[in-house]
Every structure is written in structure tokens, then in C-alpha cells.
């Protein structure tokens, strides 16, 4: 789960990006290791139980920092927050449910269809983005029975559902980022997700989910997969270009496979690694296309004579949640 609010420090490359890249890489790793810890808990208390503790504890942590304003909100703002919370809950429940049937690296690879779909839909006239969608589709098909793969069909469907919710999350993030300061909108949406999952969590997990072990596990997942990555990415995106961020996010499936192998002993075959590589190439194409488009716009605009740095201004949306 990510914030959706992307900032860039105004530097084009060089030492500025060098400051942010390690932060993004750490965020990618901790998210996937959080997923590996969560997968072990899913086996015991189910996806709803894990998601409830994750979003509830993350909501408390982020609200403590952002101090969201409850009063004085209009109906449109609350409607956006509710839909954002639905997308968050659906994304995480479907993703963790897919982990009951798929290795982490495979689930993340299939889930990437969501954000890539948003990128292509927004730029469907761009040949490079259409090509990126085609390449990503090849990677997903390679994993499916149609491509000779042997992954669980229901697991694949759940991962695709998580990707669809991820796409909705990205679109809604733009509205939330425009209407709410900092992470306050995210904190409120996490609260909505908590309310949506509490009854299913109790119904499917029973008293087991209230064992101190699983509360502690939920807290670890909340920190590793929500609070810590959010803080790292927010700082990193003050220094690196959003297209660089999108390119680095291509490493998430490989990072997921690594975390699954280290924590859970998951081993992927050549077909799965090939699919991860193909989806990586698709995201590289999409990120490269975004960078070239911005360069073209900047060249057309020319020197505006302002000379003001772009530090702290919102310039793009490349939200990455799911894991």
C-alpha cells in the first residue's frame, strides 16, 4: 500500500536521484518482506484477519502523524474517502487471499496488470504504452494454463482482482491527494477499510485473531508494508523523478520472489522468472514512455523565466500498494 502522493525535488538526475534511489529500494524490500510475514499469518487467521490488523494499526500510526481533520468535510470528500477505503480493503484482501494459492513473486507479477492498465488507459494513443501493455499481457499469459503454466486459476483471478483494486486506488489517490493535506486522506481511508473488514475478520477468524501473536504480526505488517514504505517513499520522491520511481517499482515482483524464498522457502521455476522479467520490461517501457512525454512537454514549453525549483510540488501519480 502506498500513499499515492508523489513529489519530486526538481533535480533531473545525478546526485539528487542518488539520494532517493536507496530509499525506494529499501521500501520495495520491506514491503515484500511484510507480505512474506503476512502470508504466514494468512494461513492461520485468514486474509480478512490479517488485513484488519494491518489497516487498523496503520490507520492509527499514520493518523498520529498526519492528524486528519474530521469535521467540516463535505459529502463529496467523504464519498471519495469511502470509495478509497473500499479500494484499499479490496486490494489487500484479494492480494492476501491470492497468497494462499500462489507464491508471492507470482502474485505480485499478476497484480501489476492493474497499474500498467492505468498507465496504458491514460495514454492509449501512445504506441510505447500499447506495446508495454502487450508485453505485460505476454508475461501474465505465460503464467496461465493458456501459456502452459500451472498456477492455481483461482489464485490468479484473486491476484487480478487485487490489480483491479490497485488501479482504482491509483485513480482515487489523485482525488484524495488534491482534497486532503499530506497523509490525512490515507489515514481516513484506512479507517474506512478497518470498518469494512472487522465483521468478516471476526466471522472467519473468530477469537484466534485476538491472540497477542497475531496482533503483533499485524503491527509488524502495518509498519513494514504501510507506515515505513510511506515515509521512505515520501522522502525519496523529494529527490527522484517520478519516472525513475516507476522504473524502480518494476523490481517489486523480483523482490517478492526473493522475500518468499528467504522467509517461506518458496522456489520459482524458469517460467515464473521469465514472466517476472517480461513484466519488468513492460514497466520499463511504460516508465520510459512517461519520461519521454515529459521531456517533450518541457521542450515545447521552453524557459518560462521563473527559475523556481519544483521542490514539494505534486507532479505525478505512480501509486504502488497491493503488497
Ranked by mean pLDDT, the top range of 84-98, 109-123, 178-192, 293-307 is 84-98
Please report whether residue 1 resides in a domain: no
- What's the total number of domains in the chain? 1
Q: pLDDT tens across 42-87, in order?
A: 999 999 999 999 999 999 998 998 888 777 777 888 898 999 999 9
Domain span at residue 214 reads 6-316
246, part of any domain: yes
Please check whether residue 38 is in contact with residue 93, taking contact to mean a CB–CB distance below 8 angstroms: no
321 in a domain, yes or no? no
Is residue 117 in some structural domain? Answer: yes
In a domain, 323, yes or no: no
Beta partners for 7? 314
> Lowest-confidence range among 44-53, 125-134, 183-192, 245-254?
125-134
User: Mean pLDDT in the chain?
Assistant: 78
Q: Which of 246, 273, 261 is nearest to 33 (CA)?
A: 261
Residue 299 resides in a domain:
yes
Does residue 251 fall inside a structural domain? yes
In the chain, which ranges are continuous DSSP H helix? 15-66, 75-98, 104-111, 113-122, 127-143, 153-179, 184-205, 212-222, 228-236, 242-249, 252-264, 270-301
Amino acid at each position: 500500500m502506498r500513499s499515492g502522493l508523489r513529489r519530486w525535488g526538481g533535480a533531473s538526475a545525478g546526485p539528487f536521484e542518488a539520494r532517493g534511489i536507496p530509499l525506494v529500494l529499501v521500501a520495495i524490500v520491506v514491503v515484500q518482506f511484510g507480505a512474506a510475514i503476512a502470508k504466514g499469518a494468512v494461513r492461520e487467521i485468514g486474509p480478512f484477519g490479517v488485513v484488519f490488523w494491518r489497516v487498523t494499526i496503520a490507520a492509527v500510526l499514520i493518523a498520529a502523524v498526519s492528524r486528519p481533520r474530521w469535521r467540516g468535510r463535505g459529502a463529496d470528500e467523504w464519498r471519495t474517502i469511502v470509495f478509497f477505503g473500499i479500494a484499499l480493503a479490496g486490494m489487500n484482501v484479494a492480494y492476501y487471499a491470492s497468497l494462499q494459492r500462489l507464491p508471492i513473486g507470482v502474485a505480485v507479477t499478476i497484480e501489476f496488470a492493474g497499474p500498467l492498465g492505468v498507465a496504458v488507459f491514460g495514454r492509449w494513443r501512445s504506441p510505447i504504452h500499447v506495446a508495454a501493455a502487450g508485453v505485460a499481457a505476454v508475461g501474465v499469459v505465460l503464467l496461465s494454463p493458456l501459456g502452459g503454466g500451472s498456477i492455481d486459476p483461482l489464485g490468479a483471478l484473486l491476484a487480478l482482482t487485487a490489480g483491479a483494486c490497485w488501479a482504482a486506488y491509483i485513480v482515487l489517490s489523485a482525488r484524495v491527494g488534491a482534497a486532503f493535506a499530506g497523509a490525512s486522506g490515507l489515514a481516513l481511508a484506512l479507517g474506512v477499510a478497518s470498518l469494512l473488514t472487522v465483521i468478516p475478520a471476526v466471522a472467519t477468524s473468530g477469537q484466534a485473531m485476538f491472540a497477542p501473536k497475531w496482533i503483533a504480526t499485524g503491527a509488524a505488517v502495518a509498519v513494514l508494508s504501510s507506515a515505513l514504505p510511506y515515509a521512505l517513499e515520501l522522502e525519496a520522491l523529494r529527490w527522484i523523478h517520478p519516472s525513475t520511481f516507476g522504473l524502480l517499482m518494476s523490481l517489486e515482483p523480483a523482490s517478492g520472489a526473493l522475500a518468499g524464498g528467504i522467509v517461506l522457502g518458496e522456489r520459482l521455476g524458469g517460467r515464473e522468472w521469465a514472466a517476472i522479467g517480461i513484466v519488468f520490461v513492460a514497466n520499463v517501457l511504460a516508465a520510459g514512455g512517461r519520461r519521454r512525454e515529459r521531456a517533450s512537454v518541457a521542450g515545447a514549453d521552453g524557459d518560462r523565466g521563473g527559475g523556481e525549483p519544483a521542490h514539494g510540488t505534486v507532479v505525478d501519480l505512480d501509486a504502488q500498494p497491493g503488497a
